[in-house]
Amino acid sequence: MNTHITHTVCRIRSGAAAEAAETADVLAEETAVALVYNGISHVVLMATPADLEALALGFSLSEGILTKAGELYGIETKPSCNGIEVHLEIAAARFHALKARRRNMGGRSGCGLCGIDSLAAVQPDLPAVARSRAIRSTDIQTALNGLEAHQTLRNLTGSVHGAAWVENGRIVRLFEDVGRHNALDKLLGFMAGQETDPQQGFVLISSRASYEMVAKAAMLGIGAVAAVSAPTALAVRLAEQAGITLIGFAKPQQFTVYSHRNWLEAV
C-alpha cells in the first residue's frame, strides 16, 4: 500500500480580502495492521503501511512477546479488506507464554496505555541496561543537523514521527510512522534483524519521550535516547532505573540531559 495520498483542499488566506484557492495536499496513510501469532490475532495497530515486518518484530521484542529475534521462525504480510495482517510464526514456548498473558492490547498510535490489564504494568520493573561506551554531545548535534533530510514522509505530509539509529553522529537508518511507538518499533525490529550492537550508538526520536518509549529502548538494551521534544516525569524515572541516558528538547545548538549524565561526553 502507499504511504501517502494526494487530496484536493481549499486554502484560506486572510488579508485585506480573504482569499480561497483549491490546491493539492499530501496526506499520510493510516491503516489497521493486525499482528497474528501462530494463527491467532493478538493486537491491531494503527500504522503507516510501510516496513511492517520490522514493525511486527520490533513490537514483539519491545513488548516481551519474543526475547530474541531467533524466536521468530517466519513472517508474512497479507492484505485484507479492512487493513493488513502480519502473520508471525513464533517458537512454541513463546506462543504458550503469549496465550497465558491473555492481554488484549489496543493500538499504540496514541496513549500507549490502551489495553493493559493491571496497574502494575504502568511502570515495568526493567533490568539495568549494560553500558560500555559513552555518547558524545557532538554526535547528537551532528545527527540533529541531518534529521530533517531523512524524514521524507514528514516533509511531504507533516503528520508522521521518526525514529533513527545513530552511530558516530551518522543516522544509520530512520523509520517513519503516524504513531511514534510504531516508528520506534520499526527501528527496533530493523536493529534486531541486523544484529545491531546497541552499545555503538543511540536512538533519536522526533517526538516527546514517554515512559513507553524508554521502556521499549530498555528492552533492546539501548543505553541512550534523545528526543526532539520533552520527556515525561515517568519517562525520566524509568530512565534512571534502567540506566538510560535520556535527553530532551534536542536541538543542534543545545539539549537537556535528564538522566545518567555520566555516560555523555561534552565534546
Residue with cell 502480519: 86
Would you state the cell numbers that stand for residue 137, as one nine-digit string?
554531545
Q: Which of 53-57, 120-124, 191-195 has the lowest mean pLDDT?
A: 120-124
Which of the residues 10, 81, 111, 114 is marked catalytic? Answer: 111
Each residue of 47-70: pLDDT tens digit? Answer: 999 999 999 999 999 999 999 999
Helix (H) or strand (E) holding 58: helix 52-62
In the prediction, which pLDDT does 158 show? 94
- pLDDT class of 104 with cuts at 50, 70, 90: very low
* Residues 6 or more apart in contact with residue 92 via CB below 8 angstroms: none
Which of 188, 247, 211 is CA-nearest to residue 126?
211
Predicted pLDDT of residue 111: 47
Going by pLDDT thresholds of 50, 70 and 90, the confidence category of residue 166 is: very high
Q: Which residues contact 153 (CB under 8 A, 6 or more apart)?
A: 3, 4, 28, 48, 160, 176
Specify whether 111 is catalytic.
Answer: yes
Domain coordinates in residue numbering, the chain: 31-121, 135-265
Question: Closest Cα partner for 42 from 99, 121, 114, 111?
Answer: 99
Q: Which CATH superfamily is domain 135-265 in?
A: Cytidine Deaminase, domain 2 (3.40.140.10)
Checking if the pLDDT of 106 tops 80, the result is no
**DSSP code of residue 91:** -
Q: Quick one: three-class SS letters along 181-216?
A: HHHHHHHHHHHHHHCCCHHHCEEEECCCECHHHHHH
**Which CATH code fits 31-121?**
3.10.20.10
Retrieve residue 17's grid coordinates: 480580502
Q: What's the mean pLDDT in 200-207?
A: 97
198 has a pLDDT exceeding 50: yes
How far apart are alpha carbons 220 and 244 in whole angstroms? 12
Q: 222 burial class (0-12, 13-18, 19+ CB within 10 angstroms)?
A: buried
